[in-house]
Amino acid sequence: MNARAVLSRERIVRAAATVADRGGIGAVSMRSVAAELGVEAMSLYHHVANKNALLDSLADWAFEQIVAPEVDAPWRPAMVERARSARSVLVRHPWAIGMIEARPRPGTPLLRHFDRVLGCLVNSGFSAALATHAFSALDAYTYGFALTESTLPFTPADGAEQSFAEEVAPSPDEYPHLVRTLGELMGSGTYSFADEFDVGLDLILDGFEQRLTQAS
């Protein structure tokens, strides 16, 4: 069986994701993806029209990795699950942060995902405006947190935060508040920056839960 016969759009998009994981979205081209698959670039055009179409499909692929809520699910646990899923996807594929919603022609997976998120919120009593506010705030927080994680100067692991703080060793005379905060955080030996995600997520959801109660 020749290479063209076993190629498919799905295989090509997965290969593009591998290239992007390794070298960033700028590394993705018809030639680089073909090399990843061990075929000639021209063979990809039987399945993908051009590079822009490939990037559109790659954005769709990334969005499909994120858990979308059921429209009849309780809104708060559904939003928690979605936010955690999105963070996980964006940390595994940092290139997606800058392009997952930036394509000029949003695909069916993105539109379907948006529809389900808004459906879950509206069916739980959110007005259109409040659902949009919640959607925007949650995505801004999740994407921002994932971006921060992807650019940390250390790899989060047991003790990594404390080791980094000790290495930086800010002067207590120049940065008294920073030193005091770090001392209190690191004193227990259990602090992890990754835990901040759920704390912040709860704060956001608490605010929208209060807004929803006030509106009902």
Same domain, 42 and 86: no
Q: Does a structural domain hold residue 152?
A: yes
162-185 confidence digits (pLDDT tens): 888 888 888 999 999 999 988 888
- The whole-number pLDDT of residue 169 equals 84
Same domain, 148 and 97: yes
- The whole-number pLDDT of residue 156 equals 66
Q: How many residues does the chain have?
A: 216
Report the domain count for the chain.
Answer: 2
Q: Does a structural domain hold residue 9?
A: yes
Same domain, 99 and 203: yes
| Domain carrying residue 70 | 65-156+192-215
Q: Which candidate, 140, 68, 55, places its Cα nearest to that of 105?
A: 55
Same domain, 37 and 76: no
Q: Domain containing 44 — which CATH number?
A: 1.10.10.60
Q: Does a structural domain hold residue 173?
A: no
Same domain, 94 and 200: yes
26-82 confidence digits (pLDDT tens): 999 999 999 999 999 999 999 999 999 999 999 999 989 999 999 999 999 999 999
Q: Does a structural domain hold residue 105?
A: yes
| Cα separations in angstroms, 198 against 34, 72, 176, 203, 206 | 40, 23, 28, 9, 12
Q: Does a structural domain hold residue 92?
A: yes
Q: Does a structural domain hold residue 53?
A: no
Q: Domain containing 98 — which CATH number?
A: 1.10.357.10
Tell me the C-alpha distance between 145 and 86, whole Å: 11
Q: Which comes out higher in pLDDT, residue 173 or 99?
A: 173
Q: Which amino acid would we find at residue 99?
A: M
Q: Does a structural domain hold residue 17?
A: yes
Q: Does a structural domain hold residue 22?
A: yes
Per-chain mean pLDDT for the chain: 91
Asked which of 120-129, 133-142, 183-192 is least confident by mean pLDDT, the reply is 183-192
